[in-house]
Structures are given as C-alpha cells and as structure tokens.
Amino acid sequence: MNKKNFLGTVCAAVALAAVVSACGDGTTRSTGWEFSRNMYDPIAFNPDQPNKNFKNGITAQTPPTGTTPIGFTRFDYENSVEGYELAGAEITANPLTVTEQNLKEGHALYVTYCAVCHGPEGNGDGTITKDREVEDSRGKRALENFPEPPSYQKSAGTPSSRGGQMSDLTAGKIFHTITYGWNSMGPHASQISPEDRWKVVMYVQELQKK
C-alpha cells in the first residue's frame, strides 16, 4: 500500500470512529462532541446577569463620572439659552475643512432632515409650512400648517427667536440648535452624528451667504 492510500485509509477510519462514537449504539443519550463550546457558555457575564464582583451585584455598571464612551463625541454646552450663547461665542468656526465632498454630504443631509421646514434654499418655506387639510376625530376638516422658520439668507434679514439675524448665526449656535432643538424644531442628536451635524452646519453657512 502506497503512502497516499495509507493516509486516505487512516483519515477514513478516524472519520468513521468519530461518527460511531457520536451516534453510539442507540442505548445512550450522548450528544457526542460539541463544536466551539465557548459559544454556548460565554466566559464573560451578560449585562443582565447578577455579578458578585461588584458591590451592587449587577453586571451593567454606570460609567464613572466624566468618562467618554468609545465612539461618543462630547459637546460640553448645556441645553439652555446660556449654553447656546456660550457655544456661539466659543465655536465660531467649523472644525471640518470646507471641501466639495463635505458640502455635497452636508447638502444631502440638509435635504433629508432640514429642508422639509427650512426649505431647499433656507428661505423658511419648506413643505411642512404649507396649508394642508386635516380631519379630526369627529370628522371635521380644517387647514393646518407649521409656522415658517426664519430665513437663513442675508437678503431676508429675518431675526431669530433667540435674537440676532439668522444669517449671522455662528457655527456653534447652529450646531447647538441641531443638537438640542428649539421651539417647534426637535433635537436631532439621535438622528445625525456629530460629524454629520458639522456638515449640515457647513451647508447652512453657505445658505447664509446668499
């Protein structure tokens, strides 16, 4: 018997032995060998499991004060008028470089999240501000719309509800408003990442120049 046939015979014998040992003779309930046992019995604790390693006995611990989670970008300005003004005074420039690609992405994000209210050109004439007929629970029909937000453009000269012209808003004030919202505008922090918010700010500041 040559070496090749011998190796083939050995491999076949081993495979047969594994099958026989796994299946047994029908009198036992052995499941045989298990593949990747640690996939069934993880070494680490699950977040909802009790854990004696901590004084409070739980696995999912609250992060220490002042720590920043991986992938999270801090914005150290509180959700208040004071925080808004401080962000506007301290953040006067966009941290992202103005490039064709960033503006293109900022425009796409603006169209997705902002244009419905602020309008495609930032004039405050988005589709949601148009009169539309609605019906209440009693079947009565009436016209409804959302108030038009101020225009971003210099020619409009529309004041912001927080004071000052919309065309003069700094990058920090715009970013703060996108993050926390204001008046009828809800917060967008859960929908738009910090980097993408800065891209929206970049595009809005292009609209301010018109």
Residue 47 has pLDDT above 60, yes or no: yes
Query: What tokens were used for 72?
Result: 């999270």
Stronger pLDDT, 3 or 76, i.e. the higher one: 76
Q: Mean pLDDT, to the nearest integer, of 55-67?
A: 89
Q: What is the pLDDT of residues 184-203, one digit of tens each?
A: 899 999 999 999 999 999 99
Helix (H) or strand (E) holding 166: none
Give the pLDDT of residue 160. Answer: 79
* Per-residue model confidence (pLDDT) at position 19: 55
Q: How confident is the model at residue 38 (pLDDT cuts 50, 70, 90)?
A: low
CA distance 79 to 188: 13
CA angle (46 as vertex; 42, 51 as ends), nearest 5: 105
Q: Does the pLDDT value for residue 40 go beyond 80? A: no
C-alpha span between 208 and 205 (Å, rounded): 5
Mean pLDDT of the chain: 83
Q: Is the pLDDT of residue 99 over 80?
A: yes
